[in-house]
Chains A and B, each alone.
Chain A
Amino acid sequence: MEHRLALAIARLRSVWDQEVGPSARRALAALVLGVLFAGAHVARIGTPAMRGVVAGALLLVSLLLIGRVLLARRRRHDPRHVIEKTVGKTDRALGAATLRAMTLVERTEQDTNQGSPELAQLHLSRLLGRASSERIADRALAAAKRWSAAGIGFALVGVIAVAVEPFRVVEGLDVLVARDGEAPLGLTWLEDVHMVSDPPDYLHQRDEPLLPFSATEQPRGSTITVRGRPVKTGRRLVLSDGASEVPFVDDGAGGLIARWTLGESADLFVAARFGAVRVRQPDVQEVGSIPDEPPKVKLEGAPRSLRILDEPSIPIHFEATDDHGLREVHLVLRSGPREERRSLSRPQADAKVDRGGYELRANDSFFKRTYLPVEVTVQARDNDPIAGPKWGKSEPIVVVLPQVGEPEALRYAALLRARDAVTDLLADRTLPVDKDKDKSAGSHEKREAAAQAKAAAVVGESLGGVYGGLRVRGVTAAVIRGQLRRVTKALEAERRSPGAALGHQKLLEATEDALLAVDAAVRARGNSDTRAVAKRLADVADEAAAAAALFSSVSERQAATVRLDAAVTVLDGGGKQMLALGELGLDLGEIVHNDLRRIARARQAENMHHAELAARDLAARLRRPEPSFSGGGSGGVESGPGPSAPPDPNDASEAEQEMQAGQRELEQLARDHADEIDEVARALEKAGSQEELDALREEAKKHAEAIREAVKGLPPPGADPGSAEAAAAAGREQAEAMAGSLERGHPQDAQQSGKSAMRALSEAKRLGEQSGGFFPEERAGRESSRAAETVERELAWLEDAMARLRRAAQERAKGELGKSGEDEQRLAERAEKLGKRGQEGEASMPEEMLERLEEAERAMRDAERSLKEGEGDRGLEQQQRAQRALEMAQNQEQEDGERESKRDGDGQSPATKDTEIPDKNKHKGPEQFRKRVMDGLGGASDPALKKAVKRYAEGLLR
């Protein structure tokens, strides 16, 4: 197009733009600001959705503006658009003609056959010249007005958005551009800030004011209180360490307050929360957290390792300390996966130091249940309620336990030494008398005595020893002691008739029998111990089997290997110890070792199923701790003439069985005698007359009144403990209880309370005298003294009345007491017979046992006489003396674990006599126990509690 024509068109465009352009730009600017300010309000809500909406709106507006600019630029260079927009809008026909003329110009320029280009340009130039600039300017003005109106509208929106609260726009924009929930621009939210630190209660420390936003260190668990005045109201302020936050709340005085409980060290700051966005205040409060240290425990001698066989008693002395306070101290025993905790102390009032001691013994129940080394520690717990209680632990004492059966093997070895000593003694006496030796010793008798003393010393040492917590007790000890006594007696007999061959022969025979008896007892002990050890090892074999079974699980294989190795080690050790326990031990010990070889072979072949089966087989075998072969004489019954059978060593002596029978008889005698005591007590009780009791109750009412009158001036309870007033109050209570019992017709209770009252009143009198004239104390003492006179008088009356009642009851029970006397006579005869049997032969009993039996017999005879004479009370007393002697005779040689082993069914040998089962009507044990409990607990000194205690006791016994 010719330059002239282009200028004409540009002129037309300029006329339009001059009018419309400024208005349009202002309107668009207003639009942008309006959207921004309004969007800030929406963005301030802070939720991701709202922030997204605002961001989207702003983006849209921006895109629109950019699009408009690009479009405007393109249209500016399009003459047709300019003609349409300017000429076409003001003169439609001229506009159309101009556009056609422009088309003609374009065609003729491309193809001259279409016409003359010059003429076409001329035509267009004329048409452009016809366009009215004024009309175009008018039209543009109208468009500019519309833009201006829109601009004003947008500007109004923006102004309103700002006018509501300009700061909100700032907050909104801050929130809008937040990243990761944190706004980039810090704003001040709180002013006039005050801070206080409140340490946790258990520390018993005072509050501490803090200099705001200055670094500080506070005990863990402290509460940091932040108080201040909000710069802007209506904001949701929080106190935060960046990870967690606590809200500020109204403090009721126009301010805000927040409390922060200090855990780990933290940098605290104030922030306003807008939805998911937090706008921080630039100030930071650094707070270092001082942790509560765990207690420190010192265990004397730890760390160390010891063998329980060397130290059967382990003293545990500890000192536990804590920075703030201790709650409890435990003794912790740990062995493999097993752990047991025992409370050693519970310090009061948050003590910071606690010391104490404990004694662990070889026979501790924990040691009995494990075979692995035991780690002993003392652990103390503090009182930290913030981070939770913490345990401090001492260095350990590692206790190496004996192998299973080791104590038994040691004891058995000691018994063998005793047996060897008696064997040597017999050897000395077996061959004809050696006169040379006798001469050098002074005389035959002296030499005999010296040899015997030597043997007795060895035996005594063996019997007195402690072997890994075990002693030689029970039937074993009784047999050996009894046989020693027997030999001593024979030696004395020989000494009384020196030079007589018969005396030496008798001594020799006694020594032979004694040796056989000792041998029988020792072998029985060995067999019994073997059985007990076998049962313990059976559990270990089961553990080995259980461990082998776990090998099928790959994840548990490592742990199973450790368990299996441990069990095998224990079995190996236990099997070795069994080998030292006599014939049965040899047999079973060999089986243990062989079966361990089977387990090892299976393991080597990686056949853990077989290892498990072999272990189970061993466990089952050990649970049947019988000899490998028994019965049928020498075996081979079915396969031809069996070999000549040597005699069974068990046939050589029955001392052990005899002693067991004797002990069973003694037990039975003690039981029967206890029943007889019950019979007498019941006869006396039954003989009490209800009428006499009623009469006594009537008479007692007057005495009760007198007692109440005497003590009514005494002070009531509530005085300081240890004071005369307190003692007097107790005396009053007891005296009133005595009165109450008298009224109810319970003379025994009344007597009991009366005695307690006398004790309390005497104490009050003593304290009053020591008060140095201090008025209330002195008065309490004085009044107590007066009251005591009355109580004492009434108590004497009561005892006299009770004695009268008893005498009358005895008189009535005379018949029954006579019968009991006869029973007592029979029991005394049994005791005498038992004692005589224990004097000599295989059933020889130890001296102490015989003495107790004799004492019991004497007391029974006394009781017999008293009962026959109708003296029930005295008879009962003598019976009780006899019972004590019987029980002491029983306990003389009571095995430490004898009852336990009997319960387990691995007692030494089966009873040769059926055990007598007490008749259910005759057996009074439970009834007697009940009575003892009721008497014991029912006699509580505090009358206020007496009934409650009695009810409690009844509940226990029900």
Chain B
Amino acid sequence: MRYAGPSRRRAAFSLSALCAVAALFSGPAASGEPLKGDERRAVGARAAILELDVAAGRGVLEGVDPGDALLAIERARLSLYEGDCDAAATVLGRPDLQASAEGAELGAIALGCARGSAGALLVRDDERGLWIRLQDDEDRALVPILTDVALKVRDTLTKDLGVTLPLPLRIDLVRDHFTLSAMTGLPEEAARTTGTVAVAKWGRVIMITPRAMEHGFPWLDTLAHELTHLALSRGTRDKAPLWLQEGVAKREETRWREAGPFDDMPSPDAVAANGIDKGMGLPIDKLGPSIAMLPTPEHAAVAFAEVASFIRYFVREAGDDALPRLLVKMRDAADPSDLDGAIREVSGHDFASWDTRWRAHIAAAPHDLPPDLMPGAKIPNVREIAKRVRLGQLLGDRGHHKEASVQLVRAQTLAPTESSLRCFAAASLLASGDRNAAAPLVQKVDDIRGGFGRWWSLRGLLHPDKDPEASFRAGIALSPLDPAVACEEKTAPELPGDPIRAALCEAARRVPR
């Protein structure tokens, strides 16, 4: 999720001309007093910081007058980009900075970040270039996997976008929406409404730990998505518009790994087309400050489908090298209005023309979507399914596995393509000793329309002939802290053979349930 916030939008203007700087920094100052200082240096420092070149930013700010308000703001920003929220909060505590809108906004975020990260566990891998701050110590078991994936994504982004993220890569793994909001400035209610799990901001990926959700989420793809945002910020000096940010991030979130069976399920073209038909689609260049701030998860899903579909179409039509070239042009653009020129220069058409062509493309594309994959679709018989599932869980928890499986199989029958229901039924049948009845429920990928962590681990267990390692890996990519998934369906005290997986399994078993 890319959340720009008002300060980022102003940042784009800041680079256009020196004369705009005063307006940029003055903003709607709380006291009406514009901040004063060395504007030329401040612009230079900010450009370096937005490009994630913190070393250059530090160089610009080296030895400057500590009383200079404009440079103080940049010093605080630099601290935030370095993850030093204490330092940022200290600088921004100055009354003159607090009296300005930008200072107050940054100050609140710095304080929230300082509070949320105080006493947190910092894991540094200087050799490989990773800086991971864990709000919950128990997430340490996720670090090796995060590290591997982050570096893979970095390489992929270098190849796809021509942008190499500077090391160390900074990741904040936070415990909940509360801290995500405090560290990023994204309103908590907005994050809850759309189910935002991560934000790329302040040169860092700030992501909620998978332990916050009982069944996890695609945390590794999310990491790739957010790292893409950072690469785009660096490649364009933070001038990429939201549609480009989110569209490219959607494209890149799966390119670091082998393609999965559900990567295109449902097809973004079909979702976008159906969303537009249902009136849920927005013009892609008018998505607002963040997709996270759209009114419903359905609107967010349609918006993501739109931008993903658009970028996919653009790359297919303009060629694989179009994106790196576009980023370079954007970075060099002096004014936000030149972005259209950059697109034209790279592809021969302006944005409006691309938009028209894309809309024609998706209008012609197949609109077929199973009803349950439609934007905003509800599972049919959801009440009855919920009843059966809950009864099954309650009976299973009391050891009545046979009775539980009766309920869960009934639920699965009502929504046969729902992987979670197949998983519950299979697990219950397995617990009741009916392995033969359980196995078919987790056999074919074609039977389901979306992944579910334990579906994959049960598949790995019950179908050892079907590349169980891939199944377990897919499970961990979704639910790393589900003990059954993390432990590859082994029962305590048995552990997976791989030491990283074994550590993950132990951490998952420690999660209170």
Question: Which among B46-54, B67-75, B246-254 touches the partner chain?
Answer: B246-254
Closest A residue by C-beta to B89? A613
Q: Are B297 and A632 in contact (CB under 8 A)?
A: yes
Contact B225 A640 (CB under 8 A): yes
Q: Identify B421's interface contact among A426, A587, A646, CB under 8 A.
A: A646
Name A594's contact: one of B135, B177, B197 (CB within 8 Å). Answer: B135
Binds A, one of B323-331, B350-358, B391-399: B391-399
A553 interface residue (CB < 8 Å to B)? no
Q: Judging by beta carbons under 8 Å apart, are A621 and B178 in contact?
A: yes
Determine the chain A residues whose CB is within 8 A of the CB of B211 once the complex forms: 590
B121 at the interface (CB under 8 A from A): yes
Query: Which B residues are in CB contact (< 8 Å) with A635?
Result: 195, 197, 208, 213, 217
B367-396 near A? 1/0 per residue, CB < 8 Å: 000000000000100110111011101110
Q: Which residues of A contact B222 (CB under 8 A)?
A: 636, 638-640
Complex Cα distance, B407 from A883, in Å, reads 45
Question: Measured between C-beta atoms, what is the minimum distance from B142 to chain A in Å?
Answer: 14
Q: In the complex, A46→B138 CA distance in Å?
A: 87
Is B321 at the interface (CB under 8 A from chain A)?
Answer: no
Q: Which of B1, B119, B386 contacts A647 (CB 8 A)?
A: B386
A648 located at the interface, meaning its Cβ lies under 8 Å from any Cβ of chain B in the complex: yes
Q: Is the CB of B452 within 8 A of A649?
A: no
Check A634–B215 contact: CB distance below 8 A: yes
A586 contacts the other chain (CB 8 A): yes
Tell me, rounded to whole Å, the shortest Cβ–Cβ distance linking B215 to chain A. Answer: 6
Say how far A246's CB is from chain B's closest CB, in angstroms: 65
Contact B177 A628 (CB under 8 A): yes
Residues of B within 8 A of A610 (CB): 86, 118-119
Q: Which residues of A contact B478 (CB under 8 A)?
A: 643
Interface pick from A595-603, A685-693, A828-836:
A595-603
Q: With an 8 A cutoff between CB atoms, is B116 at the interface?
A: yes
Q: Which of A592-636 contact B (CB under 8 A)?
A: 594-595, 597-602, 607, 609-614, 616-617, 620-621, 624, 626-636
Instruction: State the CA gap A589–B195 with chains docked (Å).
Output: 22
Q: Which residue from A431, A597, A613, A631 sits with its C-beta under 8 Å from B114?
A: A613
Q: Does B451 contact A (CB under 8 A)?
A: yes
Given A430-B403, A620-B115, A638-B300, residue A646 in contact with residue B262 (CB < 8 A): no
Asked if B340 CB lies within 8 Å of chain A CBs, one says: no
CB contact between A630 and one of B177, B382, B512 (< 8 Å): that residue? B177
Does B162 touch A at the CB level, under 8 Å?
no
Contact between B451 and A590, CB atoms less than 8 A apart: no
What is the CA–CA distance of A435 and B119 in the complex, to the nearest angstrom? 63
Could you say which residues of chain A place their CB within 8 Å of the CB of B455? Answer: 644
The residue in chain B whose Cβ has the minimal distance to the Cβ of A598 is B119
In the bound assembly, the distance between CA atoms of A644 and B226 in angstroms comes to: 22
B223 to A, closest residue via Cβ: A639
Chain B nearest CB: distance from A610 CB in Å?
A: 4
Q: Is A379 an interface residue (CB 8 A)?
A: no
Across-interface contacts of A630 in B (CB, < 8 A): 177, 192, 195
Residue from B116, B212, B215, B387 in contact with A646 in the complex, judged by beta carbons closer than 8 Å: B215
Q: Say which residue of B192, B262, B297 sits within 8 Å of A641 (CB atoms).
A: B262
Q: How far is the CB of A666 from chain B (nearest CB, A)?
A: 26
- Which residues of B394-430 have CB atoms within 8 Å of chain A's CB atoms? 394-395, 397-398, 400, 402-403, 406-407, 411, 418-421, 424
Taking a contact as CB atoms under 8 Å apart, the answer to whether A602 and B176 are in contact is no
Q: Is the interface of A mostly helix, strand, loop or mixed?
A: helix
Chain A window 318-356, contacts with chain B (Cβ cutoff 8 Å), 1 for yes, 0 for no: 000000000000000000000000000000000000000
Report the bound CA distance from A627 to B137 in whole Å: 19
> Which of B121, B208, B379 is close to A629, meaning CB atoms less than 8 Å apart?
B208
B118 touching A614 by the CB < 8 A rule?
Answer: yes
> Which residues of A430-454 are within 8 A (CB) of B?
430-431
B403 partner, pick from A427, A598, A609, A648, beta carbons under 8 A: A427
A515 CB within 8 Å of chain B = yes
Stretch at the interface among A416-424, A495-503, A812-820: A416-424
Question: Which of chain B's residues have a CB closer than 8 A to the CB of A516?
Answer: 387, 390-391
- Residue-wise, chain B 61-99 has the 8 Å CB interface mask toward A (1 for contact) of 000000000000000000000000010000000000000
Neighbouring B residues of A419 by C-beta, 8 Å: 394
- For residue B175, which residues in chain A have a CB less than 8 angstroms away from its CB? 591, 594, 628
The answer to whether the Cβ of B472 comes within 8 Å of any Cβ in the partner chain is no
Asked if B291 is at the interface of the complex by the 8 Å CB criterion, the answer is yes
Whether the pair B212, A651 counts as a contact (CB closer than 8 A) is no
Cβ contact within 8 Å between A638 and B291: yes
Instruction: List which A157-204 residues lie within 8 A (CB) of chain B.
Output: none
Instruction: Give the distance to chain B from A903, nearest Cβ to Cβ, in Å.
Output: 24
Q: Which one of A586, A600, A611, A628 has the highest number of Cβ atoms from chain B below 10 Å of its Cβ?
A: A628
- B119 lies within 8 A of A642 (CB): no
The residues in A between 644 and 674 inclusive whose CB is less than 8 angstroms from any CB of B are 644-653
Instruction: Enumerate B105-128 residues with CB–CB distance to A below 8 Å.
Output: 114-116, 118-121
User: Does chain B have a CB within 8 A of A243?
Assistant: no
Please give the distance in Å from B416's CB to the nearest CB on chain A: 12
Task: Verify A420–B254 contact, CB threshold 8 A.
Answer: no
Q: Are A519 and B394 closer than 8 Å at their CB atoms?
A: yes
Closest-CB distance, A940 to chain B (whole angstroms): 57
Q: Does A637 contact B (CB under 8 A)?
A: yes
Contact of B120 among A424, A430, A598, A609 (CB under 8 A): A598
Residues of B214-229 at the interface with A, using a CB-CB cut-off of 8 Å, are: 214-219, 221-222, 224-226
- Cα A131 to Cα B209 with chains together (Å): 138
Q: Report whether over half of chain B's contact residues are helix, strand or loop; otherwise say mixed.
A: helix
> For window 1-40 of chain B, which residues contact chain A by CB distance below 8 Å?
1
> How many angstroms between the C-alpha atoms of A430 and B1 in the bound complex?
47
| B456: nearest chain-A partner, CB-CB | A643
Chain A residues closer than 8 Å to B137, beta-carbon distance: 594, 597
Determine whether B479 belongs to the interface, using a CB cutoff of 8 Å to chain A: yes
Given A594-B135, A601-B121, also A637-B196 (CB < 8 A): yes
Cα distance A505–B292 in the bound complex, in angstroms: 47
Q: Are B195 and A636 in contact (CB under 8 A)?
A: yes
- B201 to nearest A CB, angstroms? 14
B513 at the binding interface (Cβ < 8 Å): yes
On chain B, the residues within 8 Å of A515 by CB distance are 391, 394
| A589 contacts across to B, CB distance below 8 A | 512
| Residue B338 lies at the interface, judged by CB distance under 8 Å to chain A | no
Asked if A590 and B301 sit within 8 Å, CB to CB, the answer is no
A783 within 8 A of B: no
Which of chain B's residues have a CB closer than 8 A to the CB of A19?
none
Cα separation A613 to B114 with both chains bound (whole Å): 7
Closest to B219 in A: A636
- Residues of A near B403 (CB, < 8 A) are 426-427, 430-431
Contact B391 A640 (CB under 8 A): no
Measured between beta carbons, the chain A residues less than 8 angstroms from B253 are: 639-640
Q: Contacts of A512 on B, CB cut-off 8 Å?
A: 387, 391
Query: Would you call B193 an interface residue if the criterion is a C-beta within 8 Å of the partner chain's C-beta atoms?
Result: yes
Closest to A640 in B: B221
Bound CA span A650–B301, Å: 24
Q: Tell me the bound Cα distance from A635 to B479 in angstroms.
A: 12
Q: Given the complex, which residues of B lie within 8 Å of A638, measured CB to CB?
A: 1, 194, 196-198, 222, 225, 246, 249-250, 291-292, 300, 304
The answer for the CA separation of A420 and B222 in the assembled complex, in Å, is 39
Distance, CA A649 to CA B253, complexed state (A): 31
Contact partner of B221 (CB less than 8 A), chosen from A586, A594, A633, A636, is: A636
Complex alpha-carbon distance, A583 and B175, angstroms: 16
Q: Name the distance in Å between B225's Cβ and chain A's nearest Cβ.
A: 4
Q: How far is the CB of B81 from chain A (nearest CB, A)?
A: 20
Q: What are 16 A-B contacts with C-beta separation under 8 Å?
A: A427-B398, A430-B407, A512-B391, A602-B119, A612-B118, A616-B115, A633-B195, A636-B218, A637-B297, A637-B301, A638-B222, A639-B221, A644-B420, A647-B389, A648-B386, A652-B390
Q: Which 10 A-B pairs have the closest CB atoms?
A: A632-B195, A598-B119, A628-B176, A613-B118, A651-B386, A636-B217, A639-B222, A628-B212, A647-B386, A652-B390
11 new A-B contacts, CB < 8 A, other than A634-B213, A642-B450, are A519-B390, A590-B211, A610-B118, A617-B115, A620-B115, A628-B212, A632-B300, A637-B194, A641-B266, A643-B420, A644-B419
